Amino acid sequence: MHNGYNKSAQLYEEAVRYIPGGVNSPVRAFKSVGGTPVFIAKGEGALLTDVDGNTYIDYVGSWGPLVLGHRHPEVVKALQNCLEIGTSFGAPTELETLLANMIVDALPAVDMVRLVNSGTEATMSAIRLARGYTKRNKIVKFAGCYHGHADFLLIKAGSGALTLGVPTSPGVPASIAEHTIIAPYNNLDNLQEIFRQVGENIAAVIVEPVAGNMGVIPPAPGFLAGLRKLTEQYRALLIIDEVMTGFRVAYGGAQVLYDVEPDLTTLGKIIGGGLPVGAYAGKREIMSVVAPVGPVYQAGTLSGNPLAVTAGIATLQLLRQPGVYDALEQKSSRLEQGLRQAAAEAGLELTFNRVGSMLCTFFTCQPVTDYDSAAKSDTKQFAKFFAGMLRKGVYLAPSQFEAAFMSLAHSDEQIDHTIEAARAVFKEIK
């Protein structure tokens, strides 16, 4: 039985008085799907309960970090123990070194790690480091890939092969945007032309190895290897943004899954076990340019705070146990195949992209390989799908262009319930 959204609506009405749009991150506002944001009261395992008492099977997982599910007992216990010690010291702790050591052990391309507080801070710092190390200014990012809200990353494409960026947000000076070049994802020919024209001025290429902010789009065969070869040729750095994919698509992230070795890696989400965290990491030679060893400055009062580091250590310790990623794959495959069958039975031609425990249902019948093909999705149909699934107790990201995340806490029964809900909703919106 669904209890409606009366209390959520009341809380939202109050929130908009004090918080811009009533939310602290734009996609939470439900603008692209309509309706009132659901206010969450509690999470447990794979379930969420809202303030009206409705329960949902959760495929957002706090946008990716909760690969173990909500309130995993071992993570909770570790955090309780940490609270007996303290929450922040602004001084070194043994815990920081332990988490850094675990990251170095997991990623062959990483010798050193600097902990920060968010994915945005990680990518911003990695790009500053790349510029300081190479003594070049230009960076290349891919259309549809999101790397946080630093000024030089809130950029949209221009036109032509050399797509110099223009700001997508007021407050971003054109003088900053002109140093960002936008390339189409999965298109090496375009990138080669960019490097042919200005390669000597490019400090770094930054890429989501599996794009997770325009739905889920895997790299085309040879794309990441081509990036590696091209950046090496022009002595630019390759930054792989694993804020979303790190420790999710494999224990060592997408760079291990696809056998590509970046110069710098950015991490977040899972390495904090649900608490605010980020990291940038890479080769010793490059990381040694960071202050206090080198001249590239970056600092943070709460960086490496004991709570986030403790949750991250507990999470990684559980993820490195045998069979974990096989279990995630089995669950995720079960969901994907069930959704495919349900859509086919309803006569809907949809596109499903999945890499490990990341999945997206695109409301288009065409293959989705980049931003332009993702943008052809029928967002109105998705909005109907989202609303129908929410009514049936399934919580999806409120945007066509976000990933669904599987956790180890999802049971086969919950996955089957999700498939049955989708079967009914697909028929309703056909």
Catalytic positions are 146, 241, 269
Query: How far apart, in whole angstroms, are the C-alpha atoms of residue 274 and residue 265?
Result: 20
Q: Chain-centre distance of CA 319, in angstroms?
A: 18
The neighbouring-strand residues paired with 292 are: none
Where does residue 214 rank: exposed (0-12), middle (13-18), buried (19+ CB within 10 A)? buried
* Contact predicate 255/265, CB 8 Å: yes
Task: Report the SS3 class of residue 115.
Answer: strand
Query: How far apart, in whole angstroms, are the C-alpha atoms of residue 280 and residue 57?
Result: 32
Query: How far apart, in whole angstroms, are the C-alpha atoms of residue 187 and residue 130?
Result: 23
Query: How far apart, in whole angstroms, are the C-alpha atoms of residue 60 and residue 102?
Result: 26
Q: Which residue has the tokens 């695109």?
A: 362
Query: How far apart, in whole angstroms, are the C-alpha atoms of residue 305 and residue 276?
Result: 9
Q: Chain-centre distance of CA 53, in angstroms?
A: 29
> Of 38, 75, 76, which Cα lies nearest the Cα of 60?
38
Query: How far apart, in whole angstroms, are the C-alpha atoms of residue 246 and residue 33?
Result: 28
The neighbouring-strand residues paired with 183 are: 142
Strands, E assignment, 84-173: 112-116, 138-142, 155-156, 163-164, 166-167
Count other Cβ atoms within 10 Å, centred on residue 117: 21
Phi and psi of 416, rounded to 5°?
-65, -35
The neighbouring-strand residues paired with 242 are: 267
The neighbouring-strand residues paired with 217 are: 211
* Contact predicate 156/165, CB 8 Å: yes
Where does residue 86 rank: exposed (0-12), middle (13-18), buried (19+ CB within 10 A)? exposed
Task: Report the SS3 class of residue 63.
Answer: coil
CB burial string 12-34: b at 16+ within 10 A, e below:
beebeeeeeebbeeebbbbebbe
